[in-house]
């Protein structure tokens, strides 16, 4: 039974391509106005999932509900969704204006109404000055915004973004992702974004679905994913991790059949001993810009720490303390210590 | 100091190497240019001045042998040979037939090639691959053999009439008609047009089609507004090359066409060899050349339009 309050519902979605199960019984609910990222490495099925939502692929099993409507068997032209492709897919023979106006022309809208709405949306993405330019005459970031405008002008129930920032350089990527987030919040449009970049997902999303081999490993807020990764896979994928096989007690790794995950920022080094710290030697210090990556050798384990003040030198002897550890058994989080 | 000298020396070597490569490139490009100038450009020039009455120099011998030669009567020459051709009762029907065959065949070839290209682009799969392979077969059959086969197939005692007679149907004799030329030219022109148009349509990225679908476009709208404009240059190239090829064709109309009117390619040969009127045959060739140039303008226009759209000019 679909729920009209949900922006998107994927129920038991299964997709087989070339005899291989790409998406395996996937369930996901996105609330109206929420921005959700599908995050995972290449081949985990995130783009396949997005293409099933858009209607370019029909699932073998399962249901796709958009804004309470079952659209599982509808083609992309009949769905209330709009997609922004990885390479923007702007039509090179049309001007920016014509690219954005295209979906409205199909809806047989009047000329004046088309002009009004296209101008409105071009104002929103700050591209009015380029309305008569062709895609080949504007920058990558501007092309990205045209693609976004073309999707937004359709006033879709759900906006789908397929790795929208991957073709931009690092600086522009940060700028455009902030623009997208700002726009999404202002318009309150339900949005699903596919990305393999954890920074992008963490900074832009209300919630993130971390995918692995066609399944969702964990679906939660960025903070929760970082603080309480439910599986070892998520802990490894989101942020950095010291992964040590064994058990954990009294602030140190002990023999055992579990896996201990320690975030480098949860490891501190000091010259003097404090409660819960153990003797450690600094083996290597690697500058990483605004912090240093410090490789420490303790009797129980080798640890990496991220240090931004009082940075030690290689060969220093002192004490290392672990303030938080994640303990996994059979890949699942069993406790935090 | 030593470092500076080393850099300077390296730069010097690079300059010398670039100059050598440039000279080599010039000499590599020279033979085809010379061939075109000596064996195409010069004969065209000589033929043109012959057509306007310059009968001396390299045209002296042919002027003595040929009949109905018009000599220049003013400083620039004479248009008498052109007027004679236009007034010749054979020319206009021949010209009309040439234009009709060119237009109809090109239209059919482009339509069929578009159909095949779109089927491959949208549908893909094994059937499309097999059809695509089959459509290229005419490339490997010499025109003279294909034309003879078509002539036999559709003539008075050919396969079609014999076969249909089994069912009491009298199939018309197509050989030696305008339609036979059209069938023959379609056979010979189709593979190249399919190759050009299919590759043009294949080069349109999937994402551009999917975005249009996502925007709500129907199949026909995608074809009209996305695929055809983006494959416009290959389509125009296929169209112009097909039309120019058909306009000047000889073998197919000779084997399959009627004796009168006949296409200008055949008529030029008749005027040159059978009627011994070389000046008129050259005039006809220049009239075809002028018509073909009109089509070539379309080709140039399409290229300029494409370059403008992509921001290259």
pLDDT digits (tens, 9 = 90+) for B205-224: 999 999 999 999 999 999 99
For chain A, give every domain's residue range: 6-236, 243-336
Pairing of strands A207-212, A215-220: antiparallel
Residue B1, pLDDT > 70, answer no
A231: DSSP letter: B
| Chain A, nearest residue to B215 by Cα | A103
Looking at residue B14, its pLDDT comes to 80
- Mutation site for B-interface testing, chosen from A47, A75, A76 by largest number of B Cβ within 10 Å: A76
Identical fold between A6-236 and A243-336:
no
Residue B310, pLDDT > 80, answer no
Chain A interface residues (partner B, CB cutoff 8 A): 54-56, 75-78, 81-83, 85-87, 89, 91-93, 102-103, 106-107, 134, 136-137, 150, 154
**Residue B102 C-beta-side C-alpha neighbours within 13 Å:** 26
Residue B47, pLDDT > 60, answer yes
Q: Which of residues 203-232 of B touch A (CB under 8 A)?
A: 205, 207-208, 210-218, 221, 225-226, 229-230, 232
The string of pLDDT tens digits covering residues B149-193 is 999 999 999 999 999 999 999 999 999 999 999 999 999 999 999
A-chain CB neighbours of B211 within 8 Å are 83, 85, 89, 91, 150
The per-residue DSSP string of A55-85 comes to TSS--SEEEEEETTEE-TT--GGGSSEEEE-
> Which residues 6+ apart lie within 8 Å of B131 measured at CB?
B116, B119, B120
CATH class of A243-336: mainly beta
Partner-chain residue, chosen from A75, A82, A87, that has the shortest CB–CB distance to B207: A87
| Chain A, nearest residue to B309 by Cα | A93
Residue B301 is encoded by which pair of tokens? 């226009």
Looking at residue B123, its pLDDT comes to 82
| Chain B, nearest residue to A152 by Cα | B215
The string of pLDDT tens digits covering residues B234-264 is 999 999 999 999 999 999 999 999 999 999 9
Contact call for residues A127 and A149 (beta carbons, < 8 A): yes
- Mutation site for B-interface testing, chosen from A54, A66, A77 by largest number of B Cβ within 10 Å: A77
Contact A82 B221 (CB under 8 A): no
Looking at residue B2, its pLDDT comes to 44
Classify A36 as helix, strand or coil: strand
B-chain CB neighbours of A82 within 8 Å are 214-215
Partner-chain residue, chosen from A92, A93, A103, that has the shortest CB–CB distance to B215: A103
Contact B210 A85 (CB under 8 A): yes
The per-residue DSSP string of B43-64 comes to HHHHHHHHHTT--SGGGHHHHH
Looking at residue B4, its pLDDT comes to 47
A174: DSSP letter: H
Q: How far is A109 from chain B (nearest CA, A)?
A: 13
Contact call for residues B79 and B269 (beta carbons, < 8 A): no
A-chain CB neighbours of B213 within 8 Å are 56, 75-77
Residue B287 is encoded by which pair of tokens? 């009239």
Contact B230 A86 (CB under 8 A): no
Residue B7, pLDDT > 70, answer no
| Chain B, nearest residue to A76 by Cα | B214
A-chain CB neighbours of B216 within 8 Å are 77-78, 103, 106-107, 154
Partner-chain residue, chosen from B212, B217, B229, that has the shortest CB–CB distance to A93: B229
Looking at residue A173, its pLDDT comes to 81
Looking at residue A295, its pLDDT comes to 96
Average pLDDT over residues B45-50: 96
Partner-chain residue, chosen from A56, A92, A154, that has the shortest CB–CB distance to B210: A56
Q: What are phi and psi of B258, to 5 degrees?
A: -75, 165
A-chain CB neighbours of B217 within 8 Å are 77, 102, 106
CATH class of A6-236: alpha beta
B-chain CB neighbours of A91 within 8 Å are 208, 211-212, 226, 230
Partner-chain residue, chosen from A83, A91, A137, that has the shortest CB–CB distance to B214: A83
Contact B215 A102 (CB under 8 A): yes
Partner-chain residue, chosen from B215, B218, B309, that has the shortest CB–CB distance to A154: B215
The per-residue DSSP string of B155-188 comes to STTSHHHHHHHTTT--PPP-TTSHHHHHHHHHHH
B-chain CB neighbours of A58 within 8 Å are none
Contact B207 A137 (CB under 8 A): no
| Chain B, nearest residue to A134 by Cα | B309
Q: Does residue B166 sit at the A interface (CB-CB below 8 Å)?
A: no
The C-alpha atoms of residue B302 and residue B283 are separated, in whole angstroms, by 29
Contact B205 A87 (CB under 8 A): yes
Q: What are phi and psi of A7, to 5 degrees?
A: -75, -35
> Which residues 6+ apart lie within 8 Å of A277 measured at CB?
A251, A268, A270, A319, A320, A321
| Chain B, nearest residue to A95 by Cα | B309
Question: pTM of the full predicted structure?
Answer: 0.80
CA distance readout (Å), B287 to A24, A156, A317, B41: 69, 59, 96, 17
Partner-chain residue, chosen from B205, B214, B311, that has the shortest CB–CB distance to A82: B214
Contact A76 B214 (CB under 8 A): yes
Q: What are phi and psi of B305, to 5 degrees?
A: -60, -45
Looking at residue B5, its pLDDT comes to 52
Q: What are phi and psi of B95, to 5 degrees?
A: -65, -45
The C-alpha atoms of residue B237 and residue B106 are separated, in whole angstroms, by 12
B-chain CB neighbours of A102 within 8 Å are 212, 215, 217, 225
* Ranges of residues in chain A whose predicted pLDDT is under 70: 1-4
> Which residues 6+ apart lie within 8 Å of B239 measured at CB?
B106, B110, B193, B298
The H or E element containing residue A212 is strand A207-212
Partner-chain residue, chosen from B205, B221, B232, that has the shortest CB–CB distance to A106: B221
Please tell me the total number of residues recorded for chain B in this structure.
313
Residue with tokens 């960025």: A222
Report chain B's mean pLDDT, rounded to a whole number. 91
CB pairs under 8 A between A and B: 67
A156: DSSP letter: -
């Amino acid at each position: 039974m679909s729920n009209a309050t949900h922006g998107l519902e994927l129920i038991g979605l299964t997709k087989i391509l070339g005899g291989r199960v790409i998406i395996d019984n996937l369930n996901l609910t996105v609330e109206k106005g929420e921005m959700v990222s599908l995050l995972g490495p290449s081949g985990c099925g995130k783009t396949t999932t997005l293409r099933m939502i858009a209607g370019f692929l029909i699932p073998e099993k399962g249901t796709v509900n958009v804004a309470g409507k079952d659209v599982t068997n509808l083609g992309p032209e009949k769905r209330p969704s709009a997609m922004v492709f990885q390479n923007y897919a702007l039509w090179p023979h049309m001007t920016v204006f014509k690219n954005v106006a295209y979906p409205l022309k199909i809806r047989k809208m009047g000329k004046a109404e088309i002009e009004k709405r296209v101008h409105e949306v071009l104002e929103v993405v700050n591209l009015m000055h380029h309305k008569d330019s062709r895609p080949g005459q504007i920058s990558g970031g501007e092309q990205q915004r045209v693609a976004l405008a073309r999707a937004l002008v359709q006033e879709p129930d759900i906006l789908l973004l397929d790795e929208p920032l991957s073709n931009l350089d690092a600086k522009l990527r940060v700028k455009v992702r902030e623009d997208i987030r700002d726009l999404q919040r202002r318009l309150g449009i339900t949005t699903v974004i596919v990305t393999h970049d954890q920074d992008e997902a963490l900074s832009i999303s209300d919630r993130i679905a971390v995918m692995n081999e066609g399944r969702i490993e964990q679906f939660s807020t960025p903070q929760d994913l970082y603080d309480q990764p439910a599986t070892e896979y998520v802990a490894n994928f989101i942020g950095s991790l010291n992964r040590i096989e064994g058990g954990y007690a009294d602030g140190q790794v002990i023999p055992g059949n579990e896996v201990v995950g320690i975030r480098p920022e949860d490891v501190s080094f000091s010259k003097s001993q404090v409660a819960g710290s153990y003797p450690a030697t600094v083996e290597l210090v690697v500058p990483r810009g605004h912090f240093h990556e410090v490789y420490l050798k303790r009797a129980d384990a080798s640890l990496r720490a991220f240090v931004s003040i009082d940075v030690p030198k290689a060969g220093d002897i002192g004490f290392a303390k672990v303030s938080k550890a994640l303990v996994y058994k059979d890949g699942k989080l069993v406790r935090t210590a | 100091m030593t470092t500076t000298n080393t850099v300077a020396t390296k730069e010097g070597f690079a300059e010398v190497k670039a100059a050598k490569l440039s000279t080599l490139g010039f000499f590599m490009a020279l033979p085809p240019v010379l061939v075109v100038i000596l064996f195409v450009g010069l004969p065209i020039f000589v033929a043109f001045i012959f057509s306007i009455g310059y009968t001396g120099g390299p045209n002296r011998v042919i002027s003595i042998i040929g009949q109905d030669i018009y000599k220049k009567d003013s400083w620039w020459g004479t248009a008498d040979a052109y007027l004679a051709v236009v007034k010749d009762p054979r020319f206009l029907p021949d010209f009309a037939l040439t234009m009709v065959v060119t237009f109809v065949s090109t239209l059919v070839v482009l339509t069929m090639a578009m159909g095949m290209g779109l089927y491959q682009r949208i549908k893909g799969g094994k059937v499309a691959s097999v059809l695509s392979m089959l459509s290229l077969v005419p490339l490997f059959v010499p025109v003279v053999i294909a034309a003879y086969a078509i002539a036999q197939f559709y003539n008075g005692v050919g396969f079609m009439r014999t076969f249909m007679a089994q069912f009491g149907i009298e199939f018309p004799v197509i050989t030696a008609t305008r339609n036979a030329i059209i069938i023959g030219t379609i056979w010979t022109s189709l593979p190249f047009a399919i190759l050009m148009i299919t590759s043009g349509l294949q080069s349109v990225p999937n994402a551009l089609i999917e975005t249009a679908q996502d925007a709500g476009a129907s199949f026909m709208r995608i074809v009209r507004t996305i695929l055809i404009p983006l494959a416009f240059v290959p389509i125009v190239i296929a169209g112009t090359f097909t039309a120019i090829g058909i306009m000047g064709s000889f073998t197919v109309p000779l084997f399959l066409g009627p004796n009168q009117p006949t296409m200008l390619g055949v008529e030029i040969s008749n005027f040159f060899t059978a009627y011994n009127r070389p000046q008129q045959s050259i005039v006809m060739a220049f009239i075809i050349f002028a018509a073909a140039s009109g089509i070539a303008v379309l080709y140039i226009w399409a290229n300029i339009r494409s370059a403008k759209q992509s921001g290259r000019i």
